[in-house]
Structure 1
Amino acid sequence: MRIESFDLLDSKDKFHQKALHWSGQFDEISFFNSNGSPDQWGRFESVLAVKALHSFCADDNVLDQLQQFLGKHQYGFIPGFLSYDLKNEIEVLQTSAEDRLGFPAAYFFVPAITVSITERQVKIQADDPAAVYQSIYDTIIPRTDTPVAVHIKSRWTKEEYLTAFDKVQQHIQRGNIYEVNLCQEFFAENAHISPIEVYLKLNAISPTPFSNFFKLGSHFIMSASPERFLAKRKGKLISQPIKGTAKRGCTEQEDQDIIHRMLQSQKEIAENVMIVDLVRNDLTRSALPGTVEATRLFEIQSFKQVHQMISTITCMQDPEVSNMDVFRHTFPAGSMTGAPKIAAMRICDQIESSKRGVYAGSIGYFDTVSDEFDFNVVIRSLLYNQRENYLSFHTGGAVTNQALAEQEYQECLLKASAILQALNSRLEQ
């Protein structure tokens, strides 16, 4: 297998489109796109990996088996995903909600071809890099004159969401928990879509730093995630939880007013502080003593659809702690559970009506040569079973003692807006 670099003759966006349409011939696809976001810990502007030489797929004893798989394949870049319900293996938890999508608990693969794309250059690792480059460059982007039309329904009525919200707040008032990320599902049956076209449209509507397209046979993930779950760089672990969401304004001044209100909001700050404390506690279990620190607190990052409040927590990994133990200590992302973490997950299992599956899990990669990794949080993401023509996405928000049910419900709809727009759809109540 060789690595060669080529000048980028198309624009980067056009080459992305060609590369994704070219990749559609393979059963395994992973595409990460940072959308030009400045990120001191990011390693790729965008990278496409296709065609499994070796693969790992498991529904139980996942982390032990994954460690063995990674140890056998010192290839370098190995992409894949971890389902939220891996929590049931890590803690004594159980999910009884129906699984309508059928994704495995975890999947990773060693790619036959890897294509890394920057503004001016393409680097390809393959048996014949020049042939791969030429094949991508010659790919014709299909015209899409007919808009996607998918009829999206909510698993809960608004009244059912408000009832679930009230149940969560009762737990808070009894002192069982401080915060819960309550999620609801939106879905479509008999859905016929072109996953690549939907992903490209979603990414155009909502370009985010942890955007991803993933294909495993007839299962697809189309993600516009803005959130990093966990990365490792030169022995340093980095987590960047999001808690705090507000819509974009119509003018620059309105945006500044919204950001000011977010930074003055006791509710938003309290939610963020709770998750920062949770993540610090999780990282402490894997850290060299005294190295856990919140390096940036309450940073507002503005995306095309929303403003987000993001904090950054880092530590140096204890060399006696394996990478799989790091995941045992931190997974799933605290921003998608609540605090205390185990109690919050148990309450979500009791109250939510749909299995989360890959949603609220994580997509990313391990580099088995450099001993590094980088994983997002699967939010703002579409999941699609093409064989069953079943399409699903979840949205959620933090419920605290200060939260108001109507505001949280509207925040769920705000987070759904980009996906609905990508599907050219309206929500059917």
Structure 2
Amino acid sequence: MEFEFGNAHVFHPNAAKIIDEIGSFPLPSSNTRNSNVIIKPITSKESYFQNFARIQEHIREGDIYEMNYCIGYEGRFEVIDPIEIYLKLNGLSPMPFSGLFVTGDRAVISASPERFLKKEGNTLLAQPIKGSTRRGKTEEEDEELVSKLRNSEKEQAENLMIVDLMRNDLARVGKIGSITVDELFGVYRFRRISQMISSVSCTLPDDVSFAQILSKTFPMGSMTGAPKIKAMELIDRYEDFKRGWFSGSMGYIDTKGDFDWNVIIRSVVIDQHHGTFYFGVGSAITIDADANSEYEECLLKSQAIFEVFDNL
């Protein structure tokens, strides 16, 4: 097995063994039976609306401009296969930044549409998502919904706040004057949802490290709000669950120091030892946001996860 890194070629001494292990890795061949999955909300609808109003009051008082407020769900099971759940979830809702991470008895199953950061050479790219709508049942309805999302002043305002936040974060690690908004308010269609995605990049100094990049940019602005520190304080106050791995990031780093990392959303965190799991869904709250619409957006984002567990 030969890998090319820049101008160098690297031959892995155990290539044949690795390929055999990948080829023989067991995949689930049938549905898990008798899983007895029970899911219940951590955040009630009443609590959501009460906290929504309190968060908007913070906006009126000038504490924040925008906050990503999430609600949680928790579940119990008898038998579950993380690989099966991952394949089913990404079968229902295929996403470009999906991933499966298993360590010991814990697993993260992600069908994420969002990139956090990508480094290629000296270029660092962030692609925050803010703004969502369901897919239409017909081509005409879908075009109408996409057009409405693309031209929504409210959705654009939410997206722009996070773009500004990411510009500020990248400016902390990038070369002076190198921050570029490569795309603003791009609308991308996935199987179940259309999302507004912007792209922000910068040029990195040669000596910046991975740890330095993360320390200046994590957590991602799309999952916190603006200003970031105050939004995080309010998230800790008002959310009814601890996010843990949810809204974190997973990805890879290669031998050149390039990397690509996602945002852990549309994801399930499983604890096999205790037979439990949880997941969160959220949306941005601004002064113009409507509580009913934002709650419906949360339900839309959780739909595929519920369908997976309903059909085990």
Q: TM-score, normalised by structure 1?
A: 0.68
CA distance, structure 2, for counterparts of residue 167 and residue 213 of structure 1: 36
Task: Answer yes or no: is 1:409 the counterpart of 2:309.
Answer: no
Separation in 2 of the partners of 1:158 and 1:361? 25
Q: Specify which of 230, 245, 249 is matched with residue 132 of structure 2.
A: 245
1:138 & 1:355 partners in 2: Cα distance? Answer: 33
Q: CA deviation at 1:181?
A: 0.2
Give a deviation string over 1:281-339, Cα, whole Å, max 9, x none. Answer: 00001011111010011111100110000000000012343221111110011000000
| Structure 1 position 307 matched with structure 2 position 200 | no
CA distance in 1, matches of 2:25, 2:128: 41
Whole-angstrom CA distance in 2 between matches of 1:320 and 1:337: 28
Structure 1 position 138, deviation (Å): 8.7
**Percent identity among equivalent residues?**
42
> CA offset at residue 146 of structure 1?
3.9
Q: What amino acid is the match of 2:294? A: E
Give the counterpart of 2:84 among 183, 193, 197: 197
Q: Which among 63, 68, 77 is matched to residue 181 of structure 1?
A: 68
Q: Which of 341, 362, 372 pairs up with 2:228?
A: 341
Cα deviation for residue 160 of structure 1 reads 0.6
3-state SS of the aligned residue for 1:418? Answer: helix
CA contact (8 A) 1:149 1:424 kept: no
Hey, what's the Cα distance between the residues in 2 that align with 1:383 and 1:284?
A: 33
2:282 to 382, 396, 399: 396
Aligned residue runs from structure 1 range 344-363, under 5 A: 344-363=231-250
Q: Does 2:268 correspond to 1:382?
A: yes
Note the C-alpha offset of 1:150: 1.9
| Alpha carbons 2:32, 2:80 under 8 Å: kept | no
**Which segments of 5 or more consecutive residues in structure 1 lack a partner in the other structure?**
6-123
Change (3 A) 1:296 1:273: same
Corresponding position of 1:93: none
**1: distance between equivalents of 2:297 and 2:59?**
20
Distance change >3 Å, CA 230–CA 138, structure 1 → 2: closer
Work out which of the residue numbers 98, 108, 119 in structure 2 matches 1:232.
119
1:130 Cα deviation from its structure 2 partner: 5.2
Cα distance, 1:152 vs structure 2: 1.1
Amino acid at match of 2:47: E
Query: Counterpart of 1:91?
Result: none
In the alignment, structure 2 segments of 5+ residues that lack a partner are 4-10
Cα separation, 1, equivalents of 2:281 and 2:25 = 39
- Name the structure 2 match of 1:291: 178
SS in 2 for 1:287: coil
Cα deviation 1:212-264 (Å, max 9, x = unaligned): 01100100111000000001001100000000010000111111100110112
Partner secondary structure for residue 358 of structure 1: coil
Task: Tell me if structure 2 keeps the 8 A contact 1:183–1:397.
Answer: yes
Any conservation in 1 of the 2:127–2:197 contact (CA below 8 Å)? yes
2:28 and 2:83 in contact (8 A); partners too: no
Which segment is superposed worse, 417-426 or 241-250? Answer: 417-426
Shift of residue 137, structure 1, vs aligned partner: 5.5
Q: 1:153 aligns with which of 37, 40, 54?
A: 40
The alignment of Structure 1 onto Structure 2 pairs a total of residues equal to 305
Distance 1:338 1:131, change over 3 A: closer
1:4–1:129: 8 Å Cα contact kept in structure 2? no
Aligned residue in 2 for 1:420:
306
The verdict on how the C-alpha distance between 1:193 and 1:169 changes in structure 2, with shifts beyond 3 A counting, is same
Question: In the alignment, is residue 212 of structure 1 matched against residue 99 of structure 2?
Answer: yes
Q: Does the 8 A contact of 2:27 with 2:84 survive in 1?
A: no
What's the RMSD between the two structures over aligned residues?
A: 2.1
Amino acid in structure 2 at the alignment position of 1:260: S
Asked whether the equivalents of residues 268 and 277 of structure 2 are also in contact (C-alpha less than 8 Å), the reply is yes
Cα displacement (A) at 1:149: 4.9
**Conservation of the 8 A alpha-carbon contact between 1:246 and 1:308:** yes
Query: Aligned partners of 1:270, 1:202: CA distance in 2, in Å?
Result: 31
1:213 aligned counterpart, secondary structure: strand
Q: Normalising by structure 2, report the TM-score.
A: 0.92
Mapped contact 1:152–1:425 kept (Cα < 8 A) = no
**Counterparts of 2:257 and 2:293 in 1: how far apart (Å)?**
43
Give the secondary-structure state (helix, strand or coil) at the position aligned to 2:310.
Answer: coil
Q: Say which of 148, 151, 163 aligns to 1:264.
A: 151
